[in-house]
Amino acid sequence: MTLTGQLYKLQQLDLELQRKQQELSEVEHQLSDNKALVVAESKLASHKEQLEDVRRKQKSSEWELEDLQEKVRQIDSKLYSGTSKDPKELVNLEKEVKGLKSQIRPKEDALLGLMSQVEEIEANVKTTIEEIERLKREWEQRQVTFGQRKSEIEALLARLKRDRGVLAQQLDSEALNTYERIRLTRGQAVVKVERGKCQGCHIAVPTSQWQKAKAGDLIQCNSCNRILYLG
Ligand SMILES: [Zn+2]
């Protein structure tokens, strides 16, 4: 293989290494990404907090209602037991019981409202728990799938690095330095010449250079400095 052929092969290995590194970081991201689960868990926590709050309100509303009903019962029994004969007192008691009774209906409505809120939040809690279970299953599945993919890529990367090391050792050190230097600034250091043009900058390559490059000499493009390869 010519020198430029070796450099071209080195570049292919480098590009493949880059792609695999990129793939590896994507896979690692997939393995660690649990944003959806974190969001669902915080949603559950807030639903539970809400539920506790509304249940507390429901309890105190029930107590208030029982209290009212108890007061009404007591006054009613006073009214109808005949223990009080004082008409003025009876009128006052009737007024009082009427007032209390008028408070009962709105309290009952409020209680019903709270009860339906509790039901609604309980349904939300249930849905969110199901969602969390599903996300956990997906997470576990992802760990298996992407865990396997990760090992595959790592093995591939190790092989590519080894191959690259072997090839780099065979290469003339000056040529290797030139390659590395151009790679740093240009990304791609070795480019093909097609229809007489450098494929890095698309400017025509002089025939004399073209011929030398064809023979395998390390020739750099006059305009973009890249190494010309005619495979
Ligand atoms: Zn060029």
Tell me the per-residue pLDDT of 11-45, one tens digit each, with 9 for 90 and over.
999 999 999 999 999 999 999 999 999 999 999 99
For residues 164 and 200, state if they share a domain. no
Tell me the per-residue pLDDT of 77-98, one tens digit each, with 9 for 90 and over.
988 887 777 889 889 999 999 9
Q: How far is the CA of 5 from the centre of ligand 1 (A)?
A: 17
Which pLDDT value is given to residue 158?
A: 98
Which residues place a Cβ less than 5 A from the ion ligand 1? 198, 200-201, 221, 223-224
Q: How far is the CA of 199 from the centre of ligand 1 (A)?
A: 6
Q: How far is the CA of 191 from the centre of ligand 1 (A)?
A: 8
Total structural domains within the chain: 2
For residues 143 and 68, state if they share a domain. yes
**Using an 8 Å Cβ cutoff, are 101 and 140 in contact?**
no
Which pLDDT value is given to residue 139?
A: 95
Q: How far is the CA of 195 from the centre of ligand 1 (A)?
A: 13
Q: How far is the CA of 167 from the centre of ligand 1 (A)?
A: 25
How is 157-215 classified by DSSP, letter by letter? HHHHHHHHHHHHHHS-HHHHHHHHHHHHHHS--EEEEETTEETTT--BPPHHHHHHHHH
For residues 213 and 165, state if they share a domain. no
Whether 5 is in a domain gets the answer no
Whether 22 is in a domain gets the answer no
Whether 200 is in a domain gets the answer yes
Q: In Å, how far from its chain's centre is CA 182?
A: 38
For residues 60 and 150, state if they share a domain. yes
Paired tokens of 194 = 């097609």
- Calculate mean pLDDT across residues 138-156: 97
Cα 169 from Cα 16, distance rounded (Å): 19
For residues 108 and 135, state if they share a domain. yes
Q: Which domain holds residue 137?
A: 34-170
List the CATH number of the domain containing 156: 1.10.287
Q: How far is the CA of 7 from the centre of ligand 1 (A)?
A: 16
Whether 20 is in a domain gets the answer no
Tell me the per-residue pLDDT of 89-124, one tens digit each, with 9 for 90 and over.
889 999 999 999 999 999 999 999 999 999 999 999
Considering only residues 1 and 60, tell me which one the structure prediction assigns the higher pLDDT: 60
The kind and range of the H/E element at 225 are none
pLDDT for residue 57 is more than 80: yes
Q: How far is the CA of 194 from the centre of ligand 1 (A)?
A: 11
Whether 109 is in a domain gets the answer yes
Whether 2 is in a domain gets the answer no
Mean of the per-residue pLDDT values of the chain: 95
Residues linked to residue 90 through DSSP beta bridges, in sequence order: none
Amino acid identity for residue 2 in this structure? T
| Model confidence band, residue 126 (pLDDT cutoffs 50, 70, 90) | very high
Whether 50 is in a domain gets the answer yes
